[in-house]
Amino acid sequence: MTGMADGGRRGSIVLGAILVVVGLLALLGRQLDVDLVSIGWPLFVLLPGVLLLAGSLFVGGRPGIGLAIPGGIVTMTGLVLAFQNATDAYQTWAYAWALVAPGGVGVGLVIYGLLAGQRDSLRAGVPVLLSGLGLFLGFGFFFEGILGLSGARFVGFENAFAVGLVVLGVIVLVLGVVGRRSPPA
């Protein structure tokens, strides 16, 4: 039981250190009269995420995973916001959420698994990360390709999408019919 107590104590130390570092950076920015909000406000999201990921390695074990997952989510949120801030493409939230969750969960597990040598976390994180990427690409294809959310659409995509729906429907029907047959006695 002392292992869990030590992990919790280390987690408190990591969280306290993150708060101190972020606070000191905010004070430094104020003293130097640097308007960090207009320059790189996504860093206020990105930096705590990276610090949580780093802290997860310090804490280790199960508590480390408990920091790695929100660290991955917060880091991915900061990266998405940084991209959107740089490109003024905030409409991409319609599908970029998939990079945050489940994608960020997968990122946290994969990074923790790789750096802490935890193969179970790595194995658990890869399919979650791939699910997030798949959702991002699928919804991005729909919102950008069909609806033209950012202004451009894929030419002729409506027909290909309709044919794809028909093919998918036929596959589902066939699997439904084949799956209902009872095996011979």
Q: What is the pLDDT of residue 81?
A: 92
**Does residue 62 sit within a domain?**
yes
Give the residue numbers spanning the domain of 22.
2-155
Q: What is the pLDDT of residue 70?
A: 96
**Does residue 165 sit within a domain?**
no
**Does residue 32 sit within a domain?**
yes
C-alpha distances (whole Å) from 150 to each of 5, 121, 156, 160 are 50, 36, 17, 20
Q: What is the pLDDT of residue 34?
A: 65
Buried b (16+ CB within 10 A) or exposed e, 156-184: ebeeeeeeeeeeeeeeeeeeeeeeeeeee
**Does residue 177 sit within a domain?**
no
Q: What is the pLDDT of residue 33?
A: 73
**Does residue 171 sit within a domain?**
no
Q: What is the pTM of this model?
A: 0.69
State how many domains the chain has: 1
Contacts of 154 (CB under 8 A, 6+ apart): 144, 145, 146
User: pLDDT band for position 131 (50/70/90)?
Assistant: very high
Is residue 62 within 8 A of residue 36, CB to CB? The reply is no
pLDDT tens column, 57-96:
988 888 899 999 999 999 999 999 988 888 888 999 999 9
**Does residue 80 sit within a domain?**
yes
**Does residue 19 sit within a domain?**
yes
**Does residue 163 sit within a domain?**
no
Residue 124 has pLDDT above 80, yes or no: yes
| CA–CA distance, 32 with 24 (Å, rounded to integer) | 12
Q: What is the pLDDT of residue 1?
A: 46
